[in-house]
Amino acid sequence: MQQTKTVEIGTGAFVALGFAALFFLATQTTSIQRFEEGSYDVTARFDNIGGLKERSPVAMAGVRIGRVESIVFDKDRYEAIVTLRIDSRYDTLPEDSDASILTAGLLGSQYVGLQPGGSDVFLGDGDRLEFTQSAIVLENLIGKFLVNSGED
Amino acid sequence: MNADHIVEIEDLHYARGTRPIFSGLNLNIRRGEVTAIMGPSGTGKTTLLRLITGQLVPDRGRIRVDGEWLAGLRRDGLYALRRKIGMLFQNGALLTDLSVYENVAFPLREHYELPERLIRHIVLTKLHAVGLRGAAEMLPTELSGGMARRVALARAMATDPRILIYDEPFVGLDPISMGVIVRLVRRMNDALGISSIVVSHDVQEINTVADSSYLISEGKVAASGSPDELSNAPSELVRQFMHGMADGPVPFHFPAPDYTSQLIGNGEGDDDA
Amino acid sequence: MRDLWEAFTGFLRTFGALQLFLLRLIVESPRVLMRPRLVTQQIFNAGALSLVLIMVCGFFVGAVIGLQGHSNLARFGSEDILGLFSALSLMKELGPVITALLFAGRAGTALASEIGLMRTTDQLSAMEMMAIDPVIRVATPRFLGGAISMPLLTAIFTSVGILGSWVVGVPLLGVDAGAFWSQMQAGVGTADVWEGILKSIVFGLAASLIAVWEGYNAIPTAEGVGRATTRTVVITAVVILVFDFMITAMAISLG
């Protein structure tokens, strides 16, 4: 009987620990959980998103406030529609804020940076950011530079 | 078909690989008796038991156990039949991670939904019958060879079988343990009114316990009858076996090329070897 | 040429028999799960008894990832993503693979030798004779116990590994604690967690199947049991690494 007890306690402890570890991995190592709790979506149109990907960060003043939820291509206007999911803790962003696609470091990954506007009206779920600035693509930049220097 | 016979074997053929083990074996085992199956080592006595219990399938011939032909049985039927058979393996084959008590309770727990009190009653009765009620809490690794076999006997009897099969029950036991097993074989058979099959080559013990014996050699029954009849049989082979003579129809030498030529030259003898 | 052909057909036969064996284990599983005690005992043997080994190894693997990751990422000035780097490599690769290899060495060999010994000492035949199917009573609970334990062991290994990497990275090498966790949380997606879980489930099934199969079909001698345990480790290791490649390739091609 003593042996049965050891087995039961040992198995119980092991399974509990296993599930605790699974829970830890599912909630603490990824950011999914936090944003599901409370967030709102806004969209922005870009001519060129460069290397932006789903789950790329959205930041304001360098602080992460959300992430890119989805990226779709608008085949009528040849633009990219990017949905940004923003943590509902940050619910006082002016509606005329502008969004630009920036690069972390010289060759780092890209993220969406928000620049606050001056409006008293705040962004809410489903709103659209009117002012956007596309990603700077290095090749285009070099191309432009070469053309300009040729004209001189 | 004979109602007196609990096991009937007709024209049994069985080969392991290319080596024939049985070629036309006929054998009947009578109800209520202790029947011995004897034979020199390597004659396939254990194989015969596995054929009788349906663990192996014969190449030719048929086997009937308690009125049912084995060949016609599917898995379920075979398992139902095996519940009527208790088998004692050479080394006991006790489940090493269970105590003696749990080993005997094992078939009961697996087959029936019994209240714990009843299981306890049955297990202690069976252990008492083999004289090991006091060892109930021991583990199989703590038992001597003879004790392990007695526990296995108690386990084989737990589900009240009609046939008890013993595979080499006397091998490697000291004289006292041997005496205990001999007594148990006889007593179980008579007290419970079952039939017993004992496979062995221990002539002395067999003679004291068996009602009738079969001597198997070269895939066939070489002789059969009561112990007395076998001891006085005219056949050379039977006499060699029953009296333990080193040379005879079963030669001392394993077949080999000619001794002289093999020793002298490295001629054909070496190539054959 | 004929030898080659025979080796080939022999392999096919073994492979086919293995599939049938797996099928039987799966078919019998619901019935065995109705008797949870049988399975609990095996989860204890395969899982709880491997726990200390898994945790110690997990910690040190994580710690060395922290060390290597830090020194290599520092060349690009990216120490901040150490948390992300450790979490991804542990979750998707090292966790499932090393846990499976340790599992084969600890639990797999124990299973193979236990069942092999039961074969050698006629315990399996004795069950057959008591009209108790050893596939149901012996093989299936052990298979299930192993298959259930593996994903849990993997999760524990990975979690302890991340902890080990944190210990080396944050207090010892001075990576910013906030960056360690926030970069990890920003970079690790649900798909990454699922990939690790999927791998651990597949590896658990494979490792348990191989161990039970090798034990069940061991040649009934002392040498046969020894060979069965060796084969368990070798075959499991190869199969795990091949499966690992296939699952990774699939995960990447699916996006």
The pLDDT tens digits for B51-103 are: 888 888 888 888 888 888 888 788 888 888 888 888 888 888 888 888 999 99
Residue in C with minimal Cα distance to A9: C44
Helices C177-187, C82-89: inter-axial angle, 10-degree rounding: 50
ipTM of the complex: 0.83
Determine the Cα angle at C218 with ends C217 and C224, to 5°.
Answer: 165
At residue A2, the pLDDT reads: 55
List of E strands, chain A: 39-46, 57-60, 63-74, 79-87, 98-103, 110-115, 128-129, 131-133
Chain C residues in contact with A37 by the CB 8 A cut-off are none
> Average of pLDDT values for B11-31?
85
Q: What is d(CA B100, CA B107) in angstroms, rounded to the nearest whole number?
A: 13
At residue C165, the pLDDT reads: 95
Contact C137 B55 (CB under 8 A): no
> Average of pLDDT values for C209-221?
93
Kindly state the percentage of chain C with pLDDT values over 90: 63
Whether the predicted pLDDT of A82 surpasses 60: yes
**8 A C-beta contact, residue A71 and residue A82:** yes
At residue C201, the pLDDT reads: 95
Q: What is d(CA A58, CA B254) in angstroms, rounded to the nearest whole number?
A: 88
Residue in A with minimal Cα distance to C184: A29
Whether the predicted pLDDT of C106 surpasses 90: yes
Least confident of A29-33, B150-154, C151-155: A29-33
Nearest to B87 among C117, C129, C132 (CB): C129
φ, ψ dihedrals at C207, nearest 5°:
-65, -40
> Average of pLDDT values for B209-226?
83
Give the pLDDT confidence of B173-203 residue by residue, as tens digits: 888 888 888 888 888 888 888 899 998 878 8
At residue B272, the pLDDT reads: 46
**8 A C-beta contact, residue B66 and residue B163:** yes
**Looking at chain A, which subunits does it touch, using at least 3 CB pairs closer than 8 Å as the criterion?**
C
Contact C41 A32 (CB under 8 A): no
Give the pLDDT confidence of A50-71 residue by residue, as tens digits: 878 777 888 888 788 888 888 8
H helices present in B130-221, as ranges? 145-157, 175-192, 203-209
Nearest to C132 among B91, B110, B152 (CB): B110
Task: Measure in Å the smallest separation between the Cα of C184 and chain A Cα atoms.
Answer: 6
